[in-house]
């Protein structure tokens, strides 16, 4: 299939109709087939999990084929006064200014579980960056509410500041646009709200985990930015390799299809930032950081072994403190999902973070 064939009307509409008709036939058959555990993607998946994973795999495949557009807006909407519009700062030195076509702009963010008081900002504050292959998802309640509220609850009801960064298929959204936005949000906490960096924890899932890692890298590699390192980082299934990203282990058990990855790799990289660049494929370029990093990943994710390898490489650098927690029988995309499968992961994260910051 030639990329772009089904991204415009009328072909997009035709493909969508075929997709709906196909799934209306296949889903009931799948629900019968999956009654038998050995017929599921993974025999240890529960019945409901197996159905949900397959349904999301179908959706994400077809989203990649038709190239679904997420409509982002700076209007508060349902989030009301919890939604914040942030203006960019005057300078973005280093790699953030290498591509003149990618310039900082106003961005949005959402507070969870509510707008923090001045006293709340004296405690632990979390900057969270959502996932979605740099093309999907948002910081809004419908997408990020479950995950961000759970994150807050597990860290003493800490305020969570969820960034709504530019997506790669928006005008001016290719890399490093989302990293520019991450710097904008981090600087907002530091300079506009006067949050002590020793009280800030950066969190990111999937593509957001990639951005959390590159934010830490940018801070240590760009002294001209004059940004202090945060107290800790939580990395939930971070995307760490954009070169060997189609390796096959666990592909049949995971919900991430090739079509979604292919779409992301069409949209995100540029000539300045190809897939092998240190800020794109962090697994190939480990770095030193003073920020303790806790990672976790589901053991049935297609990129699980890459994530394990990245953690190992980072650990081998002197003075880096990296924790890793693997969750058995869990595919990608668990952070925003209403699942109890990550309860023990949160216990491990709490233990790790408590050595560096109170909550």
Q: What is the 3-state secondary structure (H, E, C) of 162-231?
A: EEECCCCCCCCCCCCHHHHHHHHHHHHHHHHCCCCHHHEEEEEECHHHHHHHHHHHHHHHCHHHCCCCCC
**In angstroms, how far is CA 226 from the centroid of its own chain?**
25
**In angstroms, how far is CA 49 from the centroid of its own chain?**
21
Residue 358: inside a domain = no
Residue 2: inside a domain = no
CA distance 350 to 359: 9
Residues 227 and 331 in one domain: yes
Which token pair is 93?
């030195």
Residues 149 and 207 in one domain: yes
Residues 137 and 212 in one domain: yes
Residues 348 and 287 in one domain: yes
CA distance 282 to 166: 21
Residues 60 and 85 in one domain: no
CATH number for position 305: 3.40.50.1820
What pTM value is reported for the model?
0.95
Residues 6+ apart with CB under 8 A from 207: 130, 131, 132, 133, 134, 178, 239, 264
For residue 114, the enclosing domain spans 77-353
Catalytic residues: 206
Residue with tokens 């961000």, as numbered in its chain: 148
CA distance 249 to 307: 13
Please give the chain's pLDDT, 359 residues, in tens: 566 788 888 888 888 898 899 999 999 999 999 999 999 999 999 999 999 999 999 999 999 999 999 999 999 999 999 999 999 998 899 999 999 999 999 999 999 999 999 999 999 999 999 999 999 999 999 999 999 999 999 999 999 999 999 999 999 999 999 999 999 999 999 999 999 999 999 999 999 999 999 999 999 999 999 999 999 999 999 999 999 877 678 899 999 999 999 999 999 999 999 999 999 999 999 999 999 999 999 999 999 999 999 999 999 999 999 999 999 999 999 998 878 889 999 999 999 999 999 98
Residue 359: inside a domain = no
Number of domains in the chain: 2
């Amino acid at each position: 299939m030639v990329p772009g064939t089904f991204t415009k009307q009328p072909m997009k509409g035709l493909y969508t109709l075929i997709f709906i008709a196909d799934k209306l036939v296949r889903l009931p058959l799948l629900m019968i087939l999956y009654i038998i555990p050995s017929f599921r993607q993974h025999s240890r998946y529960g019945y409901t999990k197996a159905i949900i994973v397959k349904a999301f795999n179908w959706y994400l495949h077809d989203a990649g084929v038709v190239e679904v557009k997420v409509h982002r807006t700076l209007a508060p909407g349902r989030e009301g006064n919890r939604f914040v519009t942030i203006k960019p700062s005057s300078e973005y030195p280093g790699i953030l200014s290498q591509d003149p076509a990618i310039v900082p702009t106003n961005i949005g963010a959402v507070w969870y579980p509510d707008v923090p008081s001045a006293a709340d900002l004296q405690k632990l504050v979390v900057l969270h960056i959502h996932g979605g292959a740099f093309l999907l998802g948002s910081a809004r309640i419908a997408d990020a509410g479950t995950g961000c509220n759970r994150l807050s609850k597990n860290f003493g009801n800490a305020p969570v500041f969820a960034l709504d960064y530019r997506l790669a298929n928006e005008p001016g959204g290719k890399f490093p646009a989302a990293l520019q936005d991450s710097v904008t949000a981090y600087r907002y906490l530091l300079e506009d709200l006067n949050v002590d960096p020793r009280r800030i924890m950066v969190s990111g899932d999937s593509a957001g985990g990639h951005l959390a890692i590159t934010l830490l890298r940018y801070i240590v590699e760009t002294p001209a930015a004059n940004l202090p390192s945060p107290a800790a980082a939580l990395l939930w299934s971070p995307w760490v390799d954009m070169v060997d990203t189609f390796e096959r282990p666990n592909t049949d058990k995971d919900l991430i299809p090739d079509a979604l990855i292919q779409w992301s790799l069409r949209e995100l990289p540029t000539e300045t930032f190809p897939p092998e660049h240190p800020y794109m494929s962090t697994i190939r370029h480990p770095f030193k950081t003073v920020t303790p990093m806790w990672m976790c990943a589901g053991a049935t994710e297609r990129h699980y072994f890459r994530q394990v390898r990245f953690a190992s490489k980072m650990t081998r650098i002197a003075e880096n403190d990296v924790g890793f927690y693997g969750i058995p029988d869990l595919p990608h995309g668990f952070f925003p999902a209403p699942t109890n499968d990550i309860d023990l992961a949160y216990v491990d994260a709490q233990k790790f973070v408590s050595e560096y910051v109170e909550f």
